[in-house]
């Protein structure tokens, strides 16, 4: 059984019901000690106010969502994205976030050049890695499920993400986010978790894959509602040295986003204890 | 530009509009020299009649769709699936099919045991490989897109499919089907095509990944409508020694399945020439 003190809430789980302040207060009420906020949530609430509230609640920040999106049609757009990422790094530092999550970007509009897009990702990360190091912020590449390869991330597997990390050498402030929803199907998953090791494993996101799946856009389940063997993946992470939070992130347009936030958090706490 | 004489039609492309006989006649009219029929289409038309018609039209069979589905909850069900596959092998032999396509099966109902399901696939193939050899039929494992891992195939990458092939040693009548829709996103795709080589490359299926994608159930595009660089993947196959057909398989519930079959075939021929 998972230790409930390890539960963190990715605030996208309540994004349709609550603003940042209400969501954090609710987490505190449920004894949750860590959250993962999104850029838009903090922009509406105010970054300084958010930092103060998190401190007052004794709330850690597991990950800041999100940077990345390095792929774009023109060099000018790509430079703009890099500037955006530099701002995200500063904000992540202010938040004391465990990592800045990178969703790397899909194919640029009208493009079929997957290899070119992958190079844009590598170049984009290379352009910000020193900023991250300077700010004391770790970058977490999140491979997305291959169904998002065109529109979300050309980085689709943990192996690919770790290959990018390795190019920066040991000690660079870069690693991976393991989201069970994106990675559960991968025959190489366990081998790559072991390869990543403690230093590269910057976060662990949990939700479930429903059957039948609607796939896209947002159709995730709470742990235990679907087919992912979350405890097994958690065990592999722990064997590799991971000691961080289990960040619950349930993006569910037609089910959990429509429910009362108290009901959602109650389910999150119960299901984390039972199914993670 | 792709050679139109290499175009084959997977008859699922016309499954909502035509029965087997009408579809084959239409292909012949368009100068298409090879088709891939499905089990249900042949059961309705009659296998012997189908064999006769194919011979009379001078039509080759690229692949017979489909065997597999080795994963099931009980040993009795799994034995039944193996018997089904043995029948499919006999039918593939009668058709003179280039291969029997294997869609290996997803997780059994209520199961989260991905590793167990993968073993069922390996055991299932092991149970039929001698039948295939005896009948002179080659088995083509088709890795499905990871969005089908739970419900269609726990074999999700070409690497994984080739690992299964390798377990049977060189000369065994087993290889892979490369379907660009299922594989295009894979960072290991080109390396694995080269690894497969001529002997293991039993087929090449083409369609396109639309953006935005609806994902599931059936939302494929004609070549050129989406983001897959089909000529590049074709080139890698040819470099690896593949000389077979380009089997067009467009499963499109809301677009191509609703159009007149003549219009569909005209588009298939034109788009194959332009975008493959």
pLDDT, one tens digit per residue, over B180-213 is: 999 999 999 999 999 999 999 999 999 999 999 8
Mean pLDDT of all residues in B130-152? 97
| Residue B10, token pair as written in the block | 């997977």
Element (H, E) at A220: strand A220-221
Q: Does A167 contact B at CB distance below 8 Å?
A: no
User: How far is B186 from B191, CA to CA, in rounded Å?
Assistant: 10
| Angle in degrees, 0-180, between the axes of helices B20-29 and B47-57, rounded to the nearest 10 | 10
| Residue A269, token pair as written in the block | 């706490």
Could you identify the residue written with the tokens 């034995």? B79
Q: Is the pLDDT of residue A244 over 90?
A: yes
Mean pLDDT of all residues in B65-81? 98
Q: Check CB contact under 8 Å for B114 and A215.
A: no
Give phi and psi for A165, each to the nearest 5: -55, -45
User: How far is B48 from B51, CA to CA, in rounded Å?
Assistant: 5
Q: Is the pLDDT of residue B2 over 70?
A: no
Q: Is the pLDDT of residue A224 over 60?
A: yes
Closest CA to A219 of A269, A257, A180: A257
Q: Check CB contact under 8 Å for A184 and B156.
A: no
Closest residue to B112, CB basis, from A156, A160, A227: A227
The pLDDT, as a whole number, for residue A263 is 98
What is the 8-class DSSP label of residue B143? P
In contact, A62 and A32? CB cutoff 8 Å: no
The pLDDT, as a whole number, for residue A213 is 87
Model confidence at B248, pLDDT cuts 50, 70, 90, reads very high
The pLDDT, as a whole number, for residue A2 is 60
The pLDDT, as a whole number, for residue B252 is 97
Closest CA to B101 of B125, B67, B54: B67
The total of other beta-carbon atoms located within 10 Å of residue B69's CB is: 20
Closest CA to A94 of A141, A137, A127: A137
Q: How far is A214 from chain B (nearest CA, A)?
A: 7
Model confidence at A4, pLDDT cuts 50, 70, 90, reads confident
Give CB contacts under 8 A, 24+ apart, made by B53-60: B53/B20, B53/B21, B53/B24, B54/B24, B54/B95, B57/B24, B57/B25, B57/B27, B57/B28, B58/B28, B58/B33, B59/B24, B59/B27, B59/B28, B59/B33, B59/B34, B59/B35, B60/B8, B60/B33, B60/B34, B60/B35, B60/B96, B60/B98, B60/B245
Q: Check CB contact under 8 Å for A215 and B147.
A: yes
Q: How remote is the C-alpha of B195 from its chain's centroid? A: 20
Portion of chain A with pLDDT greater than 90, in percent: 96
A73, A110, A114: which to substitute to probe chain B, counting the most B Cβ within 10 Å? A114
β-strands B201-206, B208-209 pairing: unpaired
Q: Is the pLDDT of residue A131 over 90?
A: yes
Q: Is the pLDDT of residue A133 over 70?
A: yes
Reported as a single tens digit per residue, the pLDDT across A88-108 is: 999 999 999 999 999 999 999
CA–CA distances in Å: residue B10 to residues A25, A51, B148, B176, B232:
56, 58, 20, 16, 21
Kindly identify which residue of chain B lies nearest to residue A217, measuring between CA atoms: B214
Could you identify the residue written with the tokens 């896209």? A216
Contacts of B111 in chain A (CB under 8 A): 227
Model confidence at A187, pLDDT cuts 50, 70, 90, reads very high
Cα torsion B201, B202, B206, B209 to 10°: value is -60
User: How far is A33 from B167, CA to CA, in rounded Å?
Assistant: 48
Q: Check CB contact under 8 Å for B149 and A212.
A: no
- Average per-residue pLDDT in chain A? 96
HEC states along A230-268? HHHHHHHHHHCCCCCCEEECCCECCCHHHCCHHHHHHHH
The pLDDT, as a whole number, for residue B214 is 80
Residue A48's Cβ-count burial label (10 Å; 0-12, 13-18, 19+) is: exposed
CA–CA distances in Å: residue A248 to residues A217, A266, B103:
18, 12, 33
Q: Check CB contact under 8 Å for A227 and B111.
A: yes
The pLDDT, as a whole number, for residue A188 is 97
The pLDDT, as a whole number, for residue B120 is 98
Q: Does B184 contact A at CB distance below 8 Å?
A: yes
What is the 8-class DSSP label of residue B98? S
Interface pTM (ipTM) of the complex? 0.96
- Average per-residue pLDDT in chain B? 96
| Residue A37, token pair as written in the block | 């906020």
| Cα dihedral across residues A215, A219, A225, A228: positive or negative | positive
The pLDDT, as a whole number, for residue A214 is 80
Closest residue to B187, CB basis, from A157, A209, A215: A157
Q: Check CB contact under 8 Å for B156 and A111.
A: no
Q: Is the pLDDT of residue A118 over 70?
A: yes
Half-sphere exposure of A235 (CA within 13 A, CB side): 6
Model confidence at B166, pLDDT cuts 50, 70, 90, reads very high
Reported as a single tens digit per residue, the pLDDT across A45-77 is: 999 999 999 999 999 999 999 999 999 999 999
Closest residue to A211, CB basis, from B151, B156, B185: B151
Q: How remote is the C-alpha of A175 from its chain's centroid? A: 12
Q: Is the pLDDT of residue A1 over 60?
A: no
Exposure b/e, A151-190, CB count within 10 A at least 16 = b: bbbbbbbbbbbbebbeebeeebbbbbbbbbbbbbbbbbbb
Q: Does A1 contact B at CB distance below 8 Å?
A: no
Model confidence at A217, pLDDT cuts 50, 70, 90, reads confident
User: How far is A184 from B150, CA to CA, in rounded Å?
Assistant: 10
In contact, A121 and A161? CB cutoff 8 Å: no
User: How far is A247 from A59, CA to CA, in rounded Å?
Assistant: 13
């Amino acid at each position: 059984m998972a230790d409930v003190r390890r539960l963190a809430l990715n605030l996208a789980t309540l994004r349709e019901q609550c603003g940042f302040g209400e969501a954090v207060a609710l987490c505190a009420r449920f004894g949750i000690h860590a959250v993962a906020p999104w850029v838009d949530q903090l922009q509406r609430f105010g970054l300084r106010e958010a930092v103060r509230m998190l401190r007052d609640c004794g709330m850690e920040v597991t990950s800041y969502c999100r940077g990345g999106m390095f792929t774009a049609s023109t060099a000018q757009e790509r430079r703009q994205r890099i500037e955006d990422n530099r701002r995200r790094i500063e904000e992540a530092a202010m938040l004391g976030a465990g990592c800045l999550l990178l969703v790397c970007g899909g194919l640029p509009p009208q493009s079929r050049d997957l290899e070119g897009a992958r190079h844009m990702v590598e170049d984009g990360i290379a352009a910000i890695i020193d900023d991250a190091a300077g700010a004391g912020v770790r970058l977490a590449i999140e491979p997305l499920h291959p169904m998002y390869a065109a529109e979300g991330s050309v980085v689709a597997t943990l192996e690919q993400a770790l290959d990018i990390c390795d190019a920066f050498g040991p000690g660079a402030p870069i690693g991976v986010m393991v989201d069970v929803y994106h990675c559960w199907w991968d025959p190489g998953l366990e081998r790559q978790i072991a390869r990543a090791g403690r230093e590269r494993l910057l976060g662990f996101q949990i939700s479930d894959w429903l059957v039948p799946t609607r796939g896209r856009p947002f159709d995730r389940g709470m742990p235990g509602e679907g087919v992912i063997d979350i405890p097994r993946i958690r065990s592999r992470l722990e064997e590799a040295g991971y000691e961080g939070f289990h960040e619950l992130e349930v993006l569910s347009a037609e089910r959990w986003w429509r429910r009362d936030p108290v009901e959602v958090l109650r389910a999150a706490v119960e299901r984390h204890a039972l199914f993670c």
